[in-house]
Structure 1
Amino acid sequence: MDLKDIQNLIKFVAKSGASEVKLETDDVKITIKTGGEERSETTTYVQQIPVNAPMGQMPMQQQAPTAAAPAAEAASEDSKYITIKSPIIGTLYRKPSPDKPVFVEVGQNIKEGDVLCIIEAMKLFNEIESEVSGKVVKVLVDDSSPVEFDQPLFLVDPS
Protein backbone atom coordinates (compact mmCIF):
# COMPACT_ATOMS: atom_id res chain seq x y z
CA MET A 1 0.00 0.00 0.00
CA ASP A 2 1.59 3.25 -1.11
CA LEU A 3 1.12 6.84 0.11
CA LYS A 4 -1.55 7.66 -2.49
CA ASP A 5 -3.69 4.71 -1.35
CA ILE A 6 -3.38 5.82 2.28
CA GLN A 7 -4.27 9.41 1.38
CA ASN A 8 -7.31 8.23 -0.59
CA LEU A 9 -8.37 6.08 2.38
CA ILE A 10 -8.08 9.07 4.72
CA LYS A 11 -10.18 11.20 2.35
CA PHE A 12 -12.81 8.46 2.11
CA VAL A 13 -13.03 8.07 5.91
CA ALA A 14 -13.27 11.86 6.39
CA LYS A 15 -16.14 12.11 3.90
CA SER A 16 -17.97 9.02 5.16
CA GLY A 17 -18.49 10.35 8.68
CA ALA A 18 -17.19 7.16 10.32
CA SER A 19 -15.55 7.67 13.69
CA GLU A 20 -13.00 4.86 13.38
CA VAL A 21 -11.75 2.56 10.61
CA LYS A 22 -9.23 -0.28 11.01
CA LEU A 23 -7.48 -1.91 8.06
CA GLU A 24 -5.05 -4.80 8.34
CA THR A 25 -3.13 -6.48 5.55
CA ASP A 26 -0.10 -8.78 5.66
CA ASP A 27 2.41 -5.94 5.99
CA VAL A 28 0.33 -2.89 7.01
CA LYS A 29 -1.95 -2.12 9.93
CA ILE A 30 -3.80 1.22 9.77
CA THR A 31 -6.27 2.74 12.22
CA ILE A 32 -7.93 6.03 11.28
CA LYS A 33 -9.89 7.83 13.97
CA THR A 34 -11.91 10.94 13.43
CA GLY A 35 -13.12 13.22 16.19
CA GLY A 36 -16.78 12.45 15.38
CA GLU A 37 -18.18 11.26 18.72
CA GLU A 38 -15.48 12.51 21.06
CA ARG A 39 -16.24 16.16 20.46
CA SER A 40 -17.85 17.84 23.39
CA GLU A 41 -20.31 20.59 22.75
CA THR A 42 -19.63 23.93 24.37
CA THR A 43 -22.40 26.42 24.93
CA THR A 44 -21.47 30.06 25.20
CA TYR A 45 -23.85 32.53 26.73
CA VAL A 46 -23.54 36.18 25.83
CA GLN A 47 -25.20 38.63 28.16
CA GLN A 48 -25.84 42.11 26.90
CA ILE A 49 -25.95 44.90 29.43
CA PRO A 50 -28.36 47.68 28.46
CA VAL A 51 -26.80 51.12 28.25
CA ASN A 52 -29.03 54.13 28.88
CA ALA A 53 -28.38 56.89 26.37
CA PRO A 54 -29.03 60.48 27.41
CA MET A 55 -32.53 61.60 26.34
CA GLY A 56 -31.26 64.51 24.23
CA GLN A 57 -29.17 62.37 21.92
CA MET A 58 -30.44 60.10 19.19
CA PRO A 59 -28.36 57.01 18.54
CA MET A 60 -26.39 57.26 15.31
CA GLN A 61 -27.17 54.66 12.71
CA GLN A 62 -24.18 52.60 11.81
CA GLN A 63 -23.53 51.80 8.21
CA ALA A 64 -22.41 48.31 7.33
CA PRO A 65 -18.83 48.22 6.09
CA THR A 66 -18.49 47.64 2.37
CA ALA A 67 -15.66 45.14 2.72
CA ALA A 68 -17.77 42.53 0.93
CA ALA A 69 -17.12 44.10 -2.47
CA PRO A 70 -13.28 43.88 -2.28
CA ALA A 71 -13.55 40.37 -0.83
CA ALA A 72 -15.77 39.28 -3.72
CA GLU A 73 -13.33 40.91 -6.15
CA ALA A 74 -10.40 39.04 -4.61
CA ALA A 75 -12.35 35.77 -4.76
CA SER A 76 -13.07 36.25 -8.45
CA GLU A 77 -9.38 36.99 -9.11
CA ASP A 78 -8.34 33.85 -7.20
CA SER A 79 -10.87 31.73 -9.11
CA LYS A 80 -8.67 31.70 -12.21
CA TYR A 81 -5.89 30.08 -10.14
CA ILE A 82 -5.60 26.44 -9.15
CA THR A 83 -5.42 25.84 -5.41
CA ILE A 84 -3.03 23.14 -4.24
CA LYS A 85 -4.36 21.70 -0.99
CA SER A 86 -2.84 19.62 1.77
CA PRO A 87 -3.51 15.90 1.31
CA ILE A 88 -2.74 15.13 4.97
CA ILE A 89 -2.59 16.66 8.44
CA GLY A 90 0.85 17.55 9.73
CA THR A 91 3.57 20.20 9.87
CA LEU A 92 4.49 21.90 6.60
CA TYR A 93 8.12 22.60 5.75
CA ARG A 94 9.00 24.69 2.70
CA LYS A 95 12.69 23.60 2.78
CA PRO A 96 14.23 20.12 2.58
CA SER A 97 16.45 21.09 5.56
CA PRO A 98 17.07 24.30 7.54
CA ASP A 99 20.24 25.18 5.59
CA LYS A 100 18.74 24.60 2.12
CA PRO A 101 16.64 27.02 0.01
CA VAL A 102 12.86 26.67 -0.22
CA PHE A 103 11.40 24.25 -2.78
CA VAL A 104 9.34 26.92 -4.61
CA GLU A 105 9.12 30.71 -4.53
CA VAL A 106 6.35 33.06 -5.65
CA GLY A 107 6.76 33.70 -9.38
CA GLN A 108 8.56 30.43 -10.01
CA ASN A 109 7.37 28.20 -12.86
CA ILE A 110 6.63 24.62 -11.81
CA LYS A 111 5.71 21.52 -13.72
CA GLU A 112 3.75 18.41 -12.82
CA GLY A 113 5.71 16.25 -10.37
CA ASP A 114 7.84 19.05 -8.89
CA VAL A 115 8.17 18.91 -5.08
CA LEU A 116 6.44 21.94 -3.53
CA CYS A 117 6.95 21.24 0.17
CA ILE A 118 7.22 18.51 2.79
CA ILE A 119 4.54 17.65 5.33
CA GLU A 120 5.65 15.80 8.43
CA ALA A 121 3.00 13.47 9.83
CA MET A 122 3.78 11.07 12.66
CA LYS A 123 7.57 11.40 12.13
CA LEU A 124 7.22 10.61 8.41
CA PHE A 125 8.27 13.25 5.90
CA ASN A 126 5.93 13.26 2.89
CA GLU A 127 6.97 15.16 -0.23
CA ILE A 128 4.01 17.04 -1.71
CA GLU A 129 4.29 17.11 -5.48
CA SER A 130 2.52 19.42 -7.90
CA GLU A 131 -0.30 17.87 -9.90
CA VAL A 132 -0.38 20.84 -12.30
CA SER A 133 2.05 22.94 -14.31
CA GLY A 134 2.10 26.72 -14.05
CA LYS A 135 3.43 29.67 -12.11
CA VAL A 136 3.29 29.93 -8.31
CA VAL A 137 1.22 33.04 -7.55
CA LYS A 138 0.88 32.85 -3.78
CA VAL A 139 2.17 30.78 -0.86
CA LEU A 140 -0.67 30.52 1.67
CA VAL A 141 1.14 28.78 4.56
CA ASP A 142 4.24 29.76 6.54
CA ASP A 143 7.21 27.44 6.98
CA SER A 144 7.06 25.08 9.98
CA SER A 145 3.35 25.67 10.54
CA PRO A 146 0.67 23.05 11.18
CA VAL A 147 -1.72 22.28 8.33
CA GLU A 148 -5.09 20.54 8.20
CA PHE A 149 -6.41 18.09 5.66
CA ASP A 150 -7.63 19.91 2.51
CA GLN A 151 -6.13 23.25 3.66
CA PRO A 152 -5.05 25.50 0.75
CA LEU A 153 -1.26 25.69 0.50
CA PHE A 154 -0.39 27.32 -2.85
CA LEU A 155 -2.13 29.22 -5.65
CA VAL A 156 -0.88 28.34 -9.15
CA ASP A 157 -1.65 30.15 -12.40
CA PRO A 158 -1.96 27.39 -15.01
CA SER A 159 -1.66 29.73 -18.01
Structure 2
Amino acid sequence: MLKVQELREIIRLIDQSSISEFTYENSGTTISIKKPTETAAQESVAQEVIHTKQVVQPPVVEEKQEVVTKEVPKQQADTEVVETNDDTIVEIVSPMVGTFYRKPSPESDAYVEVGHKIDESSIVCIVEAMKLFNEIEAEITGEIVEVLVGDGELVEYGQPLFKVKTK
Protein backbone atom coordinates (compact mmCIF):
# COMPACT_ATOMS: atom_id res chain seq x y z
CA MET A 1 0.00 0.00 0.00
CA LEU A 2 1.32 3.43 -0.91
CA LYS A 3 1.91 6.02 1.74
CA VAL A 4 0.39 9.49 1.34
CA GLN A 5 3.83 11.01 0.66
CA GLU A 6 4.45 8.48 -2.14
CA LEU A 7 1.05 9.20 -3.67
CA ARG A 8 1.70 12.96 -3.57
CA GLU A 9 5.08 12.41 -5.29
CA ILE A 10 3.44 10.32 -8.04
CA ILE A 11 0.82 13.02 -8.63
CA ARG A 12 3.51 15.74 -8.75
CA LEU A 13 5.66 13.76 -11.21
CA ILE A 14 2.72 13.02 -13.51
CA ASP A 15 1.57 16.64 -13.35
CA GLN A 16 5.05 17.81 -14.45
CA SER A 17 5.39 15.17 -17.18
CA SER A 18 3.77 14.77 -20.58
CA ILE A 19 1.99 11.59 -19.43
CA SER A 20 -1.78 12.02 -19.75
CA GLU A 21 -2.88 8.81 -18.02
CA PHE A 22 -1.34 6.62 -15.29
CA THR A 23 -2.63 3.46 -13.60
CA TYR A 24 -0.96 1.59 -10.73
CA GLU A 25 -2.20 -1.71 -9.27
CA ASN A 26 -0.77 -3.49 -6.22
CA SER A 27 -2.29 -5.87 -3.66
CA GLY A 28 -5.88 -5.22 -4.73
CA THR A 29 -5.46 -1.43 -4.76
CA THR A 30 -5.77 0.51 -8.01
CA ILE A 31 -4.77 4.13 -8.51
CA SER A 32 -5.67 5.87 -11.77
CA ILE A 33 -4.64 9.41 -12.61
CA LYS A 34 -5.83 11.13 -15.77
CA LYS A 35 -5.16 14.65 -16.94
CA PRO A 36 -6.43 16.47 -20.02
CA THR A 37 -4.30 16.21 -23.15
CA GLU A 38 -2.82 19.34 -24.70
CA THR A 39 -5.33 19.34 -27.55
CA ALA A 40 -8.23 19.04 -25.10
CA ALA A 41 -6.79 21.93 -23.05
CA GLN A 42 -6.36 24.03 -26.21
CA GLU A 43 -9.93 23.28 -27.29
CA SER A 44 -11.29 24.30 -23.88
CA VAL A 45 -9.26 27.54 -24.03
CA ALA A 46 -10.59 28.21 -27.55
CA GLN A 47 -14.15 27.58 -26.34
CA GLU A 48 -13.56 29.93 -23.41
CA VAL A 49 -12.35 32.70 -25.75
CA ILE A 50 -15.48 32.33 -27.89
CA HIS A 51 -17.64 32.18 -24.75
CA THR A 52 -16.12 35.36 -23.26
CA LYS A 53 -17.43 37.42 -26.17
CA GLN A 54 -20.98 36.39 -25.22
CA VAL A 55 -20.71 36.53 -21.42
CA VAL A 56 -19.51 39.31 -19.12
CA GLN A 57 -17.45 36.94 -16.94
CA PRO A 58 -15.63 33.97 -18.50
CA PRO A 59 -16.02 30.57 -16.85
CA VAL A 60 -13.10 29.25 -14.85
CA VAL A 61 -11.24 26.45 -16.61
CA GLU A 62 -9.61 24.00 -14.21
CA GLU A 63 -7.47 20.95 -14.81
CA LYS A 64 -8.79 17.97 -12.90
CA GLN A 65 -6.87 14.92 -11.80
CA GLU A 66 -8.73 11.80 -10.81
CA VAL A 67 -7.34 9.52 -8.13
CA VAL A 68 -9.22 6.30 -7.40
CA THR A 69 -8.38 4.02 -4.49
CA LYS A 70 -10.24 0.96 -3.21
CA GLU A 71 -8.84 0.61 0.29
CA VAL A 72 -7.28 3.33 2.42
CA PRO A 73 -5.17 2.58 5.52
CA LYS A 74 -4.73 4.89 8.47
CA GLN A 75 -2.97 8.07 7.38
CA GLN A 76 -0.13 9.65 9.26
CA ALA A 77 -0.30 13.38 9.79
CA ASP A 78 2.63 15.60 8.99
CA THR A 79 4.01 17.60 11.88
CA GLU A 80 5.92 20.81 11.85
CA VAL A 81 7.62 22.84 14.54
CA VAL A 82 5.94 26.19 15.09
CA GLU A 83 8.18 29.22 15.42
CA THR A 84 7.05 30.59 18.80
CA ASN A 85 8.66 31.48 22.10
CA ASP A 86 7.86 27.93 23.28
CA ASP A 87 9.83 25.49 21.08
CA THR A 88 7.98 22.52 22.58
CA ILE A 89 4.77 23.36 20.66
CA VAL A 90 4.36 21.36 17.44
CA GLU A 91 1.50 21.50 14.94
CA ILE A 92 -0.18 18.42 13.50
CA VAL A 93 -1.06 19.34 9.92
CA SER A 94 -3.48 17.79 7.45
CA PRO A 95 -1.85 15.25 5.11
CA MET A 96 -4.55 15.86 2.47
CA VAL A 97 -7.40 18.06 1.30
CA GLY A 98 -10.79 17.04 2.68
CA THR A 99 -13.40 17.50 5.40
CA PHE A 100 -12.17 17.44 9.02
CA TYR A 101 -14.08 15.40 11.61
CA ARG A 102 -13.19 15.29 15.31
CA LYS A 103 -15.36 12.19 16.01
CA PRO A 104 -15.73 8.75 14.42
CA SER A 105 -19.53 9.26 14.31
CA PRO A 106 -21.94 12.09 15.24
CA GLU A 107 -23.00 10.39 18.52
CA SER A 108 -19.43 9.50 19.61
CA ASP A 109 -16.98 11.51 21.70
CA ALA A 110 -14.16 13.41 19.98
CA TYR A 111 -10.92 11.49 19.41
CA VAL A 112 -8.95 14.11 21.37
CA GLU A 113 -9.70 17.21 23.43
CA VAL A 114 -7.47 19.93 24.85
CA GLY A 115 -5.41 18.36 27.64
CA HIS A 116 -5.46 14.81 26.21
CA LYS A 117 -2.15 12.94 26.14
CA ILE A 118 -1.30 11.39 22.75
CA ASP A 119 1.44 9.17 21.32
CA GLU A 120 2.64 8.37 17.79
CA SER A 121 -0.17 5.88 17.11
CA SER A 122 -3.02 7.94 18.59
CA ILE A 123 -5.81 8.72 16.14
CA VAL A 124 -6.55 12.44 16.44
CA CYS A 125 -9.22 12.95 13.76
CA ILE A 126 -10.68 11.83 10.43
CA VAL A 127 -10.23 13.63 7.10
CA GLU A 128 -12.79 12.64 4.50
CA ALA A 129 -11.50 12.81 0.93
CA MET A 130 -13.42 11.49 -2.08
CA LYS A 131 -15.96 9.64 0.11
CA LEU A 132 -13.16 7.85 1.98
CA PHE A 133 -12.73 8.42 5.71
CA ASN A 134 -9.02 8.53 6.57
CA GLU A 135 -8.04 8.17 10.22
CA ILE A 136 -5.16 10.54 10.97
CA GLU A 137 -2.47 9.42 13.44
CA ALA A 138 -0.55 11.94 15.55
CA GLU A 139 3.04 10.78 14.80
CA ILE A 140 4.23 12.60 17.94
CA THR A 141 3.95 12.18 21.70
CA GLY A 142 2.65 15.02 23.81
CA GLU A 143 -0.44 16.86 25.04
CA ILE A 144 -3.09 18.57 22.89
CA VAL A 145 -3.03 22.29 23.76
CA GLU A 146 -5.27 23.65 20.99
CA VAL A 147 -7.71 22.39 18.36
CA LEU A 148 -7.37 24.70 15.33
CA VAL A 149 -10.19 23.41 13.09
CA GLY A 150 -13.91 23.04 13.71
CA ASP A 151 -15.79 19.78 13.16
CA GLY A 152 -17.02 19.49 9.55
CA GLU A 153 -14.74 22.22 8.17
CA LEU A 154 -12.84 21.84 4.90
CA VAL A 155 -9.07 21.57 5.34
CA GLU A 156 -6.23 22.03 2.88
CA TYR A 157 -3.05 20.01 2.52
CA GLY A 158 -0.57 21.21 5.17
CA GLN A 159 -3.20 23.16 7.15
CA PRO A 160 -2.55 23.04 10.92
CA LEU A 161 -5.16 20.95 12.78
CA PHE A 162 -3.85 20.73 16.34
CA LYS A 163 -1.13 22.27 18.53
CA VAL A 164 0.70 19.75 20.71
CA LYS A 165 3.10 20.41 23.61
CA THR A 166 5.82 17.78 23.27
CA LYS A 167 7.67 18.11 26.64
- Give TM-score scaled by structure 2 length: 0.61
| Equivalent in the alignment of 1:128 | 136
Q: Which structure: larger Rg?
A: 1
Larger CA deviation: 134-143 vs 24-33: 24-33
Write the distance in 1 (CA, Å) between the matches of 2:10 and 2:4.
10
Query: 1:61-140 alignment to 2 at 5 Å?
Result: 75-77=83-85, 79-140=87-148
Task: Letter of the 1:125 partner, please give it.
Answer: F
Q: Choose the corresponding residue for 1:31, options 25, 30, 33.
A: 33
Unmatched runs of 5 consecutive residues or more in structure 1: 41-73
Aligned residue number for residue 9 of structure 2: 12
Give the percent of matched residue pairs that are identical in Structure 1 and Structure 2: 39
- Size of the aligned set, in residue pairs, is 118
The amino acid of 1:109's aligned partner reads: K
Q: How does 1:136-155 map to 2 (within 5 A)?
A: 136-155=144-163
Which residue is 1:58 aligned to?
none
Residue 124 and residue 143 in structure 1: after superposition, are their counterparts in 2 closer, same or farther (change >3 A)? same
Normalised TM-score (structure 1): 0.63
Please tell me the residue identity of whatever aligns with 1:137.
V
Structure 2: state its 5+ residue gaps: 36-40, 46-81
Q: Report the CA distance shift for 1:32/1:106 in structure 2 as closer, same or farther (over 3 A).
A: farther
